[in-house]
């Protein structure tokens, strides 16, 4: 299966440290060699980098590891293909517009008998993965329930997303990341965990490569940064595991809703 990575922070923050660990799992310490992608939100805009080759070998991934793009929300994915061929259009994350904002999504898992479960019209898949089709269906359900303008209560929106994720989970493994650029949601079927870093900050050591960082030297006492990953990325920190069927919603690094 694939692996996921995301960040929610209260100040623009780079994800170089965490992405360096994840990228190693794309061909060095893990089998996820069928492409990778990452999306950074910057205000109302976003920038996405994708490559159909392994993240451990990608020159574009090397750029991400060396260029500290500052963002408050990031979603990343390394792929081990099971539905859809190895191609750029099948690499995650996927992005669509709804309510005048970009929604970004990534999925880890495999669905079965899904082709007729996700009727879509407004949003169409570009590639041929179960993941992208499920994303298109999810957004259509949001538009159908809440209309063509953003509702004032976004917590209700993500609570509804959780109910949709539960329906998708009935078709197989569905670990999901979803963001509108402000909120970041994670839904777990089997493997997903997170850590929230805040003062007092300390050192962290990556599991997949010999890299250590002292966050106390890289942050201010007011910074709050939450990292979500399929598996823990560091060896010396206490990651919280999300139980199957549970979900978490973050905003500016803080947990705001859970189910």
Bridge-based pairing of strands 193-198 and 254-258 is: unpaired
Q: How far is CA 50 from the centre of its chain?
A: 14
> Is position 2 annotated as part of the catalytic site?
yes
Bridge-based pairing of strands 45-51 and 212-214 is: unpaired
d(CA 42, CA 71): 6
Q: How far is CA 170 from the centre of its chain?
A: 21
Neighbours of 252 (CB within 10 A): 17
DSSP 193: E
Helix (H) or strand (E) holding 9: strand 3-13
Q: Nearest to residue 178, comparing CAs of 86, 247, 89?
A: 247
Q: Residues 2, 53, 136, 188: which is the catalytic one?
A: 2
Residue 60, token pair as written in the block: 């574009």
Helix (H) or strand (E) holding 205: strand 203-205
Q: Nearest to residue 193, comparing CAs of 223, 160, 234, 156?
A: 234
**Residues that are catalytic:** 2
């Amino acid at each position: 299966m694939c692996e996921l990575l995301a960040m929610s922070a209260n100040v623009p923050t780079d994800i170089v440290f965490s992405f360096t660990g994840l990228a190693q799992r794309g061909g060095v310490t893990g089998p996820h060699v069928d492409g990778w992608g990452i999306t950074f939100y910057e205000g109302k805009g976003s920038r996405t980098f994708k490559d159909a080759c392994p993240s451990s070998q990608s020159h574009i991934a090397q750029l991400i590891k060396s260029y500290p793009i500052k963002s408050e929300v990031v979603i990343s994915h390394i792929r081990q293909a099971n539905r859809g061929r190895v191609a750029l259009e099948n690499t995650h994350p996927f992005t669509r517009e709804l309510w005048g904002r970009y929604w970004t999504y990534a999925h880890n898992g495999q669905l079965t008998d899904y082709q007729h479960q996700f009727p879509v019209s407004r949003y169409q898949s570009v590639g041929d993965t179960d993941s992208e089709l499920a994303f298109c269906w999810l957004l259509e359900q949001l538009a159908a329930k809440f209309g063509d303008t953003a509702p004032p209560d976004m917590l209700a929106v993500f609570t509804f997303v959780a109910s949709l994720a539960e329906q998708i989970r009935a078709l197989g493994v569905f670990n999901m990341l979803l963001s509108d650029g402000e909120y970041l949601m994670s839904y777990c079927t089997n493997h997903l965990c997170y850590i929230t870093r805040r003062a007092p900050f300390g050192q962290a050591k990556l599991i997949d490569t010999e890299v250590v960082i002292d966050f106390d030297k890289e942050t201010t006492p007011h910074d709050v940064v939450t990292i979500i990953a399929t598996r823990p990325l560091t060896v010396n920190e206490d990651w919280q595991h999300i139980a199957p069927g549970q979900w978490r919603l973050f905003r500016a690094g803080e947990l705001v809703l859970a189910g």
